[in-house]
Amino acid sequence: MNLNGLFTFGSAFSQTPVCVSNKGLDWDTNCRIVKGDYTGVVLPIELEQISGRKWTDILNPCSVGMYFVSKRFIDLLYQNNITGWRTYPIIIMDKDGKEVSDYIGFSIIGKCGAIDYTKSEVSEKRRVPEGPLNRYYLGLYVGMNEWDGTVGWY
C-alpha cells in the first residue's frame, strides 16, 4: 500500500518557538476542540504567549493536543490538497499585551488505526547530557484498515 498520502504533525522540542496557552478552557472543551468538535465552544479562543521568542509556522501547545498554526501553513495545506483537518478562530496576545495576527487554531480530524510500535526500529538517545535515555521509533506503522482515507474540507 502506498503511504505517500499520510503525514505526521508536531512541533519542535525546543524552547525557541513561542508557546501559547488557552485562558481557562475546561478539560472537556479542550478535548473536544482537539478532535474538531466546536459545538458550544465560544469562539474565538483566547490565548496568551507564555514562553518562547520565535513566531514559527507551528506554535508549541501548552494544552495537550492543541495546535496553533500560521495562515501560511494553512495555505500550504490547501495548495497541496492535504485533508483531514479543520480550523477555528483564535486571538493571541503576546507578552507585551499586543494582539498577534496570522494564526489560527488547528484540529486534526483524520483517523487511522493505532500505531504498531513493534514493527518500528528502536533507538535510544539522551536529549541532554546525563539525562534519561529516550526511545525513538524509526518507521510509523498505522492500522490502515481503520484509516478513513481522504477527509473532505469542512
pLDDT in tens, 53-105: 899 998 877 776 788 999 999 999 898 888 888 999 999 999 999 999 999 99
- The reported pLDDT for the residue numbered 148 is 73
Res 11: pLDDT: 58
| Per-residue model confidence (pLDDT) at position 8 | 61
- Residue 2 is predicted with a pLDDT of 47
Q: Which residues contact 143 (CB under 8 A, 6 or more apart)?
A: 112, 113, 114, 116
Average pLDDT, the chain: 83
pLDDT of residue 149: 66
* Cα–Cα distance, 30 to 35 (Å, whole number): 9
| Residues 26-54 pLDDT 10s | 888 988 998 899 999 999 999 999 988 89
Q: What is the CA radius of gyration of the chain?
A: 17
CB 63 within 8 A of CB 21: yes
Neighbours of 61 (CB within 10 A): 19
Grid coordinates belonging to 120: 518500528
**What integer is the mean pLDDT of 110-129?**
85
Q: Bigger pLDDT: 65 or 8?
A: 65
Q: Which of the two residues, 38 and 6, has the higher pLDDT score?
A: 38
